[in-house]
């Protein structure tokens, strides 16, 4: 069965530290890839997405992610985190097969806590 | 606010009671999705609609669950004879189309169900 793995359950960083959150998926075909963020008390919001083309995609608030097809990975990065980045981050994958779309599959999420 | 809305935001019920949640998608979005999210997990797909047609249901959706989208606009999710295991956040999302580069899902704030 298709699945998405997020390696870190909880990451704690100090402000200005660099961030990398891992995401791997298990599906050999074509995929759309997403990172969603959920700030405390708010709903899920799209951070960035990959459909095709340049495997390095840039999202809102200085986040970026790199799609490495050979590694089935879509890691999220930010060079310098801020206290306001404290949130839960979810990686999600849309698998495509035979021209039709599967269902959006989410990882379990990574909680990021940034200390001021 | 033109985002996805859900009502109620919180629902506390006793085991065995029926509950119904409502989702209003973004106007003119063809697709509407229901997810369930429990503590420490990412959202899990339940079902989706293309206009008024319910096209797929997850195995998570037991016979006690039913969803409708009668006019292709708002949707309802009903849980009959609730069980304590139904306690979760129920999320609704909508997307404009199935096109390869236009299938981003926009999420509502969710309805948190607590079954006592």
Interval A23-37: pLDDT, tens: 999 988 888 999 999
Predicted confidence at residue B101, as pLDDT, reads 64
Residue B103 neighbours by CB under 8 Å, 6+ apart? A32, A94, A101, B31, B95, B96, B97
Average pLDDT over residues A58-80: 96
Q: Which two tokens stand for residue B111?
A: 């309805």
Average the pLDDT over each of A77-81, B33-37, B67-71, B95-99 and give the range with the smallest value.
B95-99
Q: Does the structure show a pLDDT above 70 at A102?
A: no
A101 → closest Cβ in B43, B98, B109: B98
Predicted confidence at residue B102, as pLDDT, reads 67
B72 sits in the region (left: phi over 0; alpha: psi -120 to 50; else beta) called left
Contact between B42 and A108 using a beta-carbon 8 Å cutoff: yes
Q: What secondary structure does DSSP assign to B32-73, as a single string?
A: EEEEEE-TTS--EEEEEEETTEEEEE-TTS-TTEEEE-TTSS
Flag whether residue B12 sits within 8 Å of chain A, measured between CB atoms.
Answer: no
Average pLDDT over residues A58-68: 96
Contact between B56 and A49 using a beta-carbon 8 Å cutoff: no
- The closest alpha carbon to A87, from A114, A60, A105, belongs to A114
SS3 B111: strand
Quote the mean pLDDT of chain A. Answer: 92
């Amino acid at each position: 069965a298709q699945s998405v793995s997020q390696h870190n359950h909880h990451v704690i960083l100090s402000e200005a530290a660099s961030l990398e959150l891992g995401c791997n998926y298990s599906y050999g075909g074509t995929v759309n890839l997403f990172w969603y963020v959920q700030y405390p008390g708010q709903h899920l919001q799209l951070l960035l997405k990959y459909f095709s083309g340049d495997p390095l995609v840039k999202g809102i608030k200085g986040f970026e992610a790199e799609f490495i097809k050979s590694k089935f990975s879509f890691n999220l990065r930010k060079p310098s985190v801020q206290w306001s980045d404290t949130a839960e981050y979810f990686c999600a994958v849309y698998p495509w097969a035979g021209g039709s779309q599967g269902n959006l599959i989410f990882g379990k999420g990574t909680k990021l806590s940034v200390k001021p | 606010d033109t985002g996805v809305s859900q009502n109620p935001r919180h629902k506390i019920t006793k085991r065995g009671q029926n509950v119904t949640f409502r989702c209003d998608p973004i106007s003119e979005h063809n697709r509407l999705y229901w997810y369930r999210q429990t503590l420490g997990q990412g959202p899990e797909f339940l079902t989706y609609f293309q206009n008024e047609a319910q096209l797929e249901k997850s195995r998570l959706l037991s016979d006690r669950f039913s969803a409708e989208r009668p006019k292709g606009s708002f949707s309802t999710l009903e849980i009959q004879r609730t069980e304590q295991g139904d306690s979760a956040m129920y999320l609704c999302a909508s997307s404009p189309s199935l096109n390869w580069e236009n299938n981003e899902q926009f999420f509502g704030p969710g309805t948190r169900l607590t079954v006592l």
